[in-house]
Structure 1
Amino acid sequence: MDTKNLLTEDTKSLTPVRKRSKWDEDGDELELSIQAPPPKRRAKARPSKPAVDPEPLLTALQNARRPSHRVFVPLRSRHPPIFPSRSVYSYERLNQIEEGSYGVVYRARDRQTGDIVALKKLKLEEEKNGFPITALREVHALMSCRHENVVGVREVVVGDTLTQVFVVMDFIEHDLKSLLSVMPSPFLQSEIKTLMLQLLSAVGHCHSHWILHRDLKTSNLLMNNRGTIKVADFGLARRYGDPVGVGGMTQLVVTLWYRAPEILLGATKYSTAVDMWSVGCIFAELLLKEPLFQAKGEVELLSMIFKLLGPPTSSSWPEYTTLPVSKTVTLPSPQPHQFRQKFQYMTSAGIDLLLSLLTYDPARRLTAEEALQHPYFSESPLPKHPDLFGSFPSAAAGEKKRKLFESPSAPARAPDYKLLTDFDLS
């Protein structure tokens, strides 16, 4: 067999057969011209310019267009400097004042300045989810509501372990609850007006800064020996928005005797009116020298409220029937309120202020700003100046009431008694 023919057949089987045309020859030349393009005409040489560095020019343009700081962000110099927390051993512990649900309060002395302060040790031993939200809310609320009638926070100090965190606050000698229990007689009307003005001013300030206290009571109102009260214990306080209570709020707030009826009846959306109901209960307690509603449970408390104020009606509280617990409560027969029998020595303006604070409908309940302008505070007797208040021994400071010295009896001359002139002094 011819080898040439075999090679030709193998080549045909491996390469596709393509007919050549008259464009093949020209196409070869075209491929050569594409692969090797003709050289470009060389341009005439121009004199070279000195190289310019663009960096300074770009920097100048950027500085001209961009301000020195963001318009909506304050300067760094306006931010307070951040320092590490001091040690709790900077204070000398003197004595324990009280222990509550959220911490233990001690009286201490600053070793550097000698100031007497209150140290609140936060209970962190049983916390499993990090720092408690109640403590964060308390510190945030106190820092947001700086007022002359709100207890002041000085700093937060720490101990040797992560569970030793202390909030340093101003030390106040008394709380109103303990003071009312040891006072021989209740406050005068002029003194009650002064205390109520301070309380309403502090509550109004907190509400204007969107803070609900949610645990106003006499034991959380501190009073010094200069007649000034300060709202304390913001453990249940929280920030709220407008509209109030979006998404629901917890009902486990406010000590029972000072709890508003809407919370007792299961409301999950409440407003600053819950604090104003507590203010009304405090007002009545200052007048009576004892709590107004001393109930053992929520049902008994509702019955005491209905007895004093009369049962709610569609005109006094239109939204009463929409509350969850209202369907399970049996209302007593209609009857007028018994405020005049309960507060016999109050003026008509005082009764009106108390009724305005203890109103069923939260929308009609008096606000702190409105209460401050009530005629009760401008009638006689006028509010007493705080400096004219009497002072009392401080139980928190470990002071005890001094015993009165027995006065000596009148002199009685005995038969053998000699006067000083009878002695020979020579």
Structure 2
Amino acid sequence: MSAKSRWANEDPETEAIIAQQKREKEEKRRAKAEKQRQLEARKAQAQQDADSQPPNGEPGPPKKRRRLSNDPDAASDHAAVAKIEQEQRQQPTLLRFPVGEWGPCRHVDNFEKLNHIEEGSYGWVSRAKDISTGEIVALKKLKLENSPDGFPVTGLREIQTLMEARHQNVVYLREVVMGNKMDDVFLVMDFHEHDLKALLDEMREPFLPSEIKTVLLQVVGGLEFLHSQWIIHRDLKTSNLLMNNRGEIKIADFGMARYYGDPPPKMTQLVVTLWYRSPELLLGADKYGTEIDMWSIGCVFGELLTKEPLLQGKNEVDQVSKIFALTGPPNSQTWPGFRLLPNAKSLRLPPTSTISSAGNPPLLPRSRFPYLTNAGLSLMSALLALNPASRPTARQCLDHQYFKEDPRPKPREMFPTFPSKAGMEKRRRHQTPEAPKRGQEAPELDFAGVFGGAPGGDTGEVGAGFSLRLG
């Protein structure tokens, strides 16, 4: 007879009860595991539905769910999953937009300098090649050595305005790169083969009327965009207008550009290169707007017609004299309130200046522009109006009849091409005055001798250090 373990239960009925309890416990464990698996599957489905919401962030209609069991625990699980999904839908959705990333500037050694092009008032421009891509670019080194207060505001304005002015007729700023020193800052821009000043110097004949219209439309189109962004260029001239071999014109050199407001803030009067400077600036105006750019456009228009700068003054006094010789002296009809300007108090106008001229603004003399149509002369006279309020805006200039009459503007694809000076050798130094440098004090000018009759007689009139010979 075999011995039984002392742990064995003598009662068979008790052993059967214990076995049944073990089976029930194992079934409950399996049921709980299955319930947990179904709950995780529902949560994963709810997360997938939340990720597939429409792009505008608005949740779609809730999907119907089929009840899998009559078990009250399963119903509570469904309620928990629905609550989680509702909370996820109520959470705010962030809208994401593609933007530039912050990072260190590239080094200038990534570019191979090919040749020097030109030196301006605010930087040196060179032709260079991007070593990584082989593209030809223009590399402008900013002048920082004469800036005791750190990075010059002219450089900051140029970078800021170029980053904002993304237009087909404004030069494209690609990036800013650094050299080995903190004052080695370079602007990387698209390269263009010509500037209009060098091109006019090399051409035997001026542009055709249809070509002049094409150039002007592009320049004024870029300027209209700048003015719509509340940016004044303040140094428009032919040497700051670039052209490539596809007939595209780009406005460049934003060293003097700045934002303005309405009403215009008080700003320095020492802006714009002398030959393209408006009369109100010469007479000391310190509150001005886009009208000074439109005067410069009129000077560029005249230069395109004649191949020569329209008003080549030797100094401020001589410049005012040449302006009044072209437009006639100002009076209360053509320029109301001009006597309030600081430098206008010394003006001694001839007696005939009080006679009202025909038209407002009056037409310029036909003898200065013999080949210009009546519509063209009307546009030129409006751009070179002494009264800033009489000058058209860039938008009005684009809609002028001059651009709608024959000959029509030549398509850019038909524009002639020219050999590139910037791509082969150092560009000739232009025989033009430089743009004013920031920090210079505007001189107090004496215009008493502009129309003659000054104490100096014919020997010359001295004003603000300038000697103006009359006769």
TM score, norm. by length of structure 2 = 0.68
What's the CA shift for 1:67?
A: 3.9
Structure 1 position 269 matched with structure 2 position 287 = yes
Structure 1 position 253 matched with structure 2 position 271 = yes
Q: Secondary structure at the match of 2:132?
A: coil
Separation (CA, whole Å) in 1 of partners of 2:314 and 2:307: 19
Instruction: Look up the match of 1:169.
Output: 189
Separation (CA, whole Å) in 2 of partners of 1:381 and 1:317: 34
TM score, norm. by length of structure 1 = 0.75
Aligned length: 335
Change (3 A) 1:65 1:118: same
Q: Give 1:219-368 correspondences, 5 Å limit.
A: 219-245=239-265, 248-332=266-350, 333-334=352-353, 338-368=364-394
Tell me which of 224, 239, 242 is aligned to 1:204. 224
Report the residue type matching 1:272 in the other structure. Answer: T
Separation (CA, whole Å) in 1 of partners of 2:423 and 2:335: 46
What's the CA shift for 1:325?
A: 1.1
Tell me which of 409, 414, 420 is aligned to 1:388. 414
Q: Give 1:137-176 correspondences, 5 Å limit.
A: 137-176=157-196
Q: Secondary structure at the match of 2:367?
A: helix
Separation (CA, whole Å) in 1 of partners of 2:408 and 2:85: 68
Higher mean Cα deviation, 300-309 or 275-284?
300-309
What's the CA shift for 1:63?
A: 8.8
Q: Give 1:109-128 correspondences, 5 Å limit.
A: 109-128=129-148
CA contact (8 A) 1:152 1:169 kept: yes
Separation (CA, whole Å) in 2 of partners of 1:61 and 1:364: 64
Separation (CA, whole Å) in 1 of partners of 2:233 and 2:128: 26
Structure 1 position 104 matched with structure 2 position 124 = yes
What's the CA shift for 1:194?
A: 0.3
Any stretches of 5+ residues in structure 1 without a counterpart? 1-58, 70-74, 401-426
Instruction: Look up the match of 2:68.
Output: none
What's the CA shift for 1:243?
A: 1.1
Change (3 A) 1:286 1:226: same
Separation (CA, whole Å) in 2 of partners of 1:222 and 1:193: 16
CA contact (8 A) 1:203 1:368 kept: yes
CA contact (8 A) 1:393 1:399 kept: no
Tell me which of 131, 136, 147 is aligned to 2:156. 136
What's the CA shift for 1:124?
A: 1.9
Report the residue type matching 1:106 in the other structure. Answer: S
Instruction: Look up the match of 1:53.
Output: none
Q: Secondary structure at the match of 1:350?
A: helix
Q: Which has the larger radius of gyration?
A: 1
Instruction: Look up the match of 2:236.
Output: 216
Separation (CA, whole Å) in 2 of partners of 1:108 and 1:359: 42
Change (3 A) 1:203 1:77: closer
Q: Deviations over 1:234-257 (max 9, x none)?
A: 000001111112xx1001100000
CA contact (8 A) 1:276 1:366 kept: yes
Q: Secondary structure at the match of 1:109?
A: strand
Change (3 A) 1:62 1:320: farther
Separation (CA, whole Å) in 2 of partners of 1:62 and 1:309: 75
Q: Deviations over 1:72-110 (max 9, x none)?
A: xxx564432112111111111101111122111110001
Tell me which of 390, 394, 402 is aligned to 1:376. 402
Change (3 A) 1:395 1:320: same
Separation (CA, whole Å) in 2 of partners of 1:103 and 1:97: 11
Report the residue type matching 1:365 in the other structure. Answer: R
Any stretches of 5+ residues in structure 2 without a counterpart? 1-83, 358-362, 427-471
Q: Give 1:179-194 correspondences, 5 Å limit.
A: 179-194=199-214
Report the residue type matching 2:198 in the other structure. Answer: S
